[in-house]
Amino acid sequence: MFGSRWNGADLDSPIRRARSGPVRRLIRRVVVGENTAARRNVRNMLELLSPNGRPRILVVGGAVKGSGLDPLYAHAEVELLSFDIYTSALVDLVADAHSIPLKDCCVDGVIVQAVLEHVADPWKVVAEIERVLRPGGIVYADSPFLQPVHEGPYDFFRFSESAHRYLFRNFSWLSSGVVAGSGAQTLWSIEYLVRGLFRSVWAGKIAKCAFCWLRLLDLCIPNQYAIDAACGVYFLGRKEGKVLTNAELVEYYSGSQQLRRMDVA
């Protein structure tokens, strides 16, 4: 099964989703930018897993190649398995992340990008990720925090940086932080504000294009301040059988309000 590909365009899928053309993808890349956190962490994952020979990596929700995942798809020494709830040329099977149809401890790495907000039970999905990972396996996840509803009725959850860490409490910490900060979050808010004022999705998109420079402000904001108003957050962890306690979760927080408490003390 690993490393195989089918032509998803030739298969009937129970879920229909609009495909983005090359022009739309280019505009999105200019306006939204690339997910540099994903690119950096995927490279780190590949380096950590390279001593295993040819690592097997599972992409959850991989019908569309996620932003920043180019190093994964370009890596010749990876056995890549991808699934989603609908077909595409990138997926190996159609499956539900709440019940991954793979045996225990069969993959070295898992990537779940912009998926956990769209599942009915993200805790169950993370438990499934833990189940299919081998001991010492690595997970990379990024999820939204302060974003408006997208995917309509299939949008259920948001995660602060601390909540995201707690979601992966059964994994040891390797890295975590902000995918996009308050500049990107403000850009989303402007889009949806204009969308509502003019009752027009396209008016919102035009406004987003006009103010896309706002996301560059994230380059000027330190991580401690970005955490509290992040557009999205990420976590990179290892399956080692260690569980994060509630006390450790409180200590984990490193946002600007922690800095203020330290100043007062």
Domains in the chain, CATH or no CATH each: 8-181+225-264 (3.40.50.150), 186-220 (no CATH)
For residue 50, the model assigns a pLDDT of 84
Q: Per-residue pLDDT tens, the chain, 265 aa: give them.
A: 444 444 444 455 555 666 656 656 656 666 777 899 999 999 999 999 987 788 999 999 999 999 999 999 998 889 999 999 998 899 999 999 999 999 999 999 999 999 999 999 999 999 999 999 999 999 999 999 999 999 899 999 999 999 999 999 999 999 999 999 999 999 999 999 999 999 999 999 999 999 999 999 999 999 999 999 999 999 999 999 889 999 999 999 999 887 554 444 4
Structure tokens at 140: 């990379």
pTM of the entire predicted model: 0.89
pLDDT confidence of residue 16: 61
Cα within 13 Å of Cα(110), Cβ side: 32
Residue 192 corresponds to which amino acid?
Y
Task: Decide the pairing of beta strands 79-84 and 56-60.
Answer: parallel
Per the CB < 8 A criterion, the answer to whether 144 and 232 are in contact is yes
Cβ atoms of residues 59 and 81 within 8 Å: yes
